[in-house]
Every structure is written in structure tokens, then in C-alpha cells.
Amino acid sequence: MTEGPKYAYQLIRNTLRLTNDKYSFDFEVVGVLVGPSGEKFTIHKTLLVTSSSFCKAALSGDWKEAAEKSIKLPDHDAEAFGIYVKWLYTGRMYITKEGDDSTEEKEPGKKKYYSREFSRWLDCYQLGDYLQDPDFKDAAIDSLIDLTIGDKWWPVDLPNYVYPYSTPKSPHRRFVVDLGINCFSKDHVQGIRSAEMPHEYMKDLLVASYEHKEIWTKALSIKSWLESKDACEYHEHKTHGTGCYKTKYGY
């Protein structure tokens, strides 16, 4: 049997986090109210606070949230939070939905479209950053990689969605830069001229372009570029010195 690409997640065995003794939890639950209408989610507290530093801080000490045993996230998307809750319990990011093949206008009246799946991905990535959950952010980056491989597409202004929610040394930023260095076509480079890009990204791209000038002229497919990469290459847990979410969830 030939070995598939390292990013072939569909081949990975799904073992629920709940079966792992290390992540056993008691029955205490907390409520999280999400979105402007305050959609309510009820979650086991231990599961939530071991994953999200934000929730851990909110539910301990003297915060009002701790006394009320509830957290309010009015500025976040309830659908994205629903994906987060499923991820907490299963280690799987259920981000694709029926109807995702269609596209929607990014801004009314402008001829700029993006996929519904990507839009949902962005809500999840922003949420993961706000909740300070590095595992969920790593899972989101893997989802993005799956999305780009599957659709052979990514928005040329992807740095605008990753840079504001990551730190300068984040492997997530490196993914965005490496993606450009390895897979940019001439059209992509032209696209950069008309897109507003983060200043930090342009600097990172320039430095990486110099360091990797030997590969700059060969536009690889995303799949063939990623085939040689280790599955944790672009995970932030490496910079935090912690384990991979895949190990925690028994992948």
C-alpha cells in the first residue's frame, strides 16, 4: 500500500476525546450566550476551561461571569460557536454545510465573491483567537488547508484574515507566506497589486521571497507542496511548547 499525503485527514481514525481519561470531567455545566440575540449553549465547564484560556479566566476569580456561571459573547457568531462546541466534544471541525458550493457577495454591489464555507471558517478562526484556544485555531488552520486543497482555491487576500488574529512568530502566518512563495501564479501576484494587504505580511513575503528565491518561479499545486510537510508544520502548539490537539483527541 502506498502512503498517502500527510494531510489526508479523512484516513485518520476518529476517537472521541471523551474516551480519554485525561479529559474526563464532572457534571458541572455553564451557559454561553452568543450573538446579538444571545443564543444559549450549555457546555461542561471542565471541557471549556481546559481548552479556552478566556473562558477559564472568565469563570474563575471575581468576574461577574464566575458568579453567574455564564459567559456572554454578543459580538460573535452563534453558528461558529456551535461548530466550536461540537469540536470541543469530538475533536472534529464540522465546517461544511449544504449549499456551500454557491458564493455570496462580499460587499453588496461589489463584484467580489467568497465561499460561504470560507466565511464560516473566518468566523471560527476569529472566535478561536478571542477565546484564546490555540488547539481550536490549529484545527482551523488544518480546515483551511483541507479547504484550499479540496477546492484548489484560496482568497488572494487571505493574509487579511490570518494576520490580525495571529502573532508575528505564529506558524499560521508562516503558512500564509509559504503558500504564496510556493503556490502563487502570475495572476495571484497581479492580484496582490489590487488587494489591500497587511503591512507585516508584505514584509514577511519580501523576506521569504529572498530566502526562497530558488523556488519562487515554480508555482506548485497546493497539494504537491503540502505533501512533503509534516502534519504539525503550521501548528501554533509548537511555539507554545504544548501537545497537538490531534494527540489529545486520539487521532
Q: Which residues bind Zn ion (CB under 5 A)?
A: 232, 235, 244
Least Å from the CB of residue 95 to Zn ion: 18
Phi-psi region of 142 (alpha: psi -120 to 50; beta: other; left: phi over 0): alpha
C-beta of 154 vs 234, nearer to Zn ion? 234
Least Å from the CB of residue 155 to Zn ion: 24
C-beta of 17 vs 76, nearer to Zn ion? 17
C-beta of 87 vs 201, nearer to Zn ion? 87
Residue 243 CB neighbours (<10 A) = 12
Q: Integer distance in angstroms from the first to the last C-alpha of the chain?
A: 20
Beta strands at 70-73 and 39-44: parallel, antiparallel or unpaired: unpaired
C-beta of 118 vs 249, nearer to Zn ion? 249
C-beta of 215 vs 244, nearer to Zn ion? 244
Measured distance CA(201)–CA(146) in Å, rounded: 22
Least Å from the CB of residue 238 to Zn ion: 7
Least Å from the CB of residue 146 to Zn ion: 15
The residue at minimum Cβ distance from Zn ion is 244
Measured distance CA(123)–CA(120) in Å, rounded: 5
C-beta of 29 vs 244, nearer to Zn ion? 244
Least Å from the CB of residue 71 to Zn ion: 27
Which of 124, 148, 149 shows the shortest CA–CA distance to 138?
124
* Long-range contacts at 158-164 (CB < 8 A, ≥ 24 apart): 159/197, 159/198, 159/201, 160/195, 160/196, 160/197, 160/198, 161/122, 161/125, 162/125, 163/198, 163/200, 163/201, 164/198
Least Å from the CB of residue 114 to Zn ion: 27
